[in-house]
Amino acid sequence: MADIKNLEGMIDSTPIMKDFADIESSKLPEYQIDSKIPEGPIAEKWTNYKAHQKLVNPANKRNLDIIVVGTGLAGASAASTLGEMGFNVLNFCIQDSPRRAHSIAAQGGINAAKNYQNDGDSIYRLFYDTVKGGDFRSREANVYRLAEVANNIIDQCVQQGVPFAREYGGLLANRSFGGAQVSRTFYAKGQTGQQLLLGAYASLNRQIEKGTVKSFNRREMLDIVMIDGRARGIIVRNLITGAIERYAAHAVVLATGGYGRTFFLSTNAMGCNGSAAVQAFKKGAYLSNLAFTQIHPTCIPVHGED
């Protein structure tokens, strides 16, 4: 575990609420987003970067603590994967159980260019369709990475026991989704998110049982602790006792989901309120394209109603 005592003083002096306006006036003029996308041709940027990263010695991993805030598809996967790799993970969520994250509501399916249908699909085509679907505003190198790893994600989910729809012969089925001209969507009836989250949750529970992940539910993150420009801890409210608690680590991963609740019409859970993103913003993280949020058909009112 990190030397929590050394960090106590710094964490104690962290203001829990800081005036949003301070940040706006003091930092806005300096804003310049640098998403640190690696150099090189788009198809090689992240592969090349990964190949040249320093590795952590396996014996040292257990000496490193990582806080993961969130237990949705992003948080549960990150926490269980980091735990399996040997790091000490502290995993937080607002709900009474990690499996109540809003990912449970996703329905349609998950895309991967496995080209099972032999309809001409490829990683490049998935990349292109995703950039186009994102109104050409996405960071293209990151979308390419997403398209690249999508095939592995399907394999991982199958290994976790996610019951994707299958053809009568037993092969994984695909359907066309979102106007794509190829069939590349893997799905589990209309409850893909629920099944994916149950798989991720099972994997998370395995690591909790092994002791590599410690689960802190009913905790809401109120603040991020920065030390020498790096996120080194979080302040949370225990939603059962009301107590303010502090946790320290060598790194903090925010996997706190979307902020659909900031819109008047939303079918998102009440926790999807952007509170964690605001905390990151207050600590100097840059946010962009905030208005570019998916409008899901479930929140479009029937004609003639409010």
Ligand X SMILES: Cc1cc2nc3c(=O)[nH]c(=O)nc-3n(C[C@H](O)[C@H](O)[C@H](O)COP(=O)(O)OP(=O)(O)OC[C@H]3O[C@@H](n4cnc5c(N)ncnc54)[C@H](O)[C@@H]3O)c2cc1C
Query: Which residues of the shown chain bind ligand X in the complex (CB under 6 A)?
Result: 69-75, 92-95, 101-103, 105-110, 192-193, 219-221, 255-258, 268, 271-272, 275-276, 296, 298
Owner of token pair 């349609």: 108
Q: Minimum Å distance from CB 5 to ligand X?
A: 24
Q: Minimum Å distance from CB 47 to ligand X?
A: 23
Nearer to ligand X, 45 or 219 (CB): 219
Nearer to ligand X, 9 or 15 (CB): 15
- Whether residue 172 contacts residue 185, with contact meaning beta carbons closer than 8 Å, is answered with no
Q: Minimum Å distance from CB 144 to ligand X?
A: 17
Burial-class residue 291 by CB neighbours within 10 Å (0-12, 13-18, 19+). Answer: exposed
For ligand X, the nearest residue by Cβ is 72
Q: How wide is the angle at C-alpha 275 spanned by C-alphas 271 and 281, nearest 5°?
A: 155
Helix, strand or coil for residue 77?
helix
Q: Minimum Å distance from CB 70 to ligand X?
A: 3
Nearer to ligand X, 58 or 297 (CB): 297
Nearer to ligand X, 59 or 270 (CB): 270
* Distance set, CA 279 to CA 203, 218, 222, 273, 285 (Å): 29, 18, 7, 12, 9
Report residue 231 as tokens: 């996120």
Q: Tell me how long the chain is.
A: 306
Helix, strand or coil for residue 221?
strand
Helix, strand or coil for residue 253?
strand
Q: Minimum Å distance from CB 53 to ligand X?
A: 24
Q: Which residues, at least 6 apart from 283, have a Cβ–Cβ distance to it below 8 Å?
A: 224, 226, 231
Nearer to ligand X, 18 or 62 (CB): 18
Nearer to ligand X, 60 or 97 (CB): 97
Nearer to ligand X, 221 or 248 (CB): 221
Q: Minimum Å distance from CB 57 to ligand X?
A: 30
Q: Minimum Å distance from CB 60 to ligand X?
A: 28
Q: Where does the chain have alpha helices with state H?
A: 4-12, 20-27, 45-51, 58-61, 73-85, 123-133, 140-159, 192-210, 275-282
Nearer to ligand X, 118 or 241 (CB): 241
- Whether residue 115 contacts residue 122, with contact meaning beta carbons closer than 8 Å, is answered with yes
Residue type, 259: Y
**135 φ/ψ angles, rounded to the nearest 5 degrees:** 55, 30
Q: Minimum Å distance from CB 108 to ligand X?
A: 3
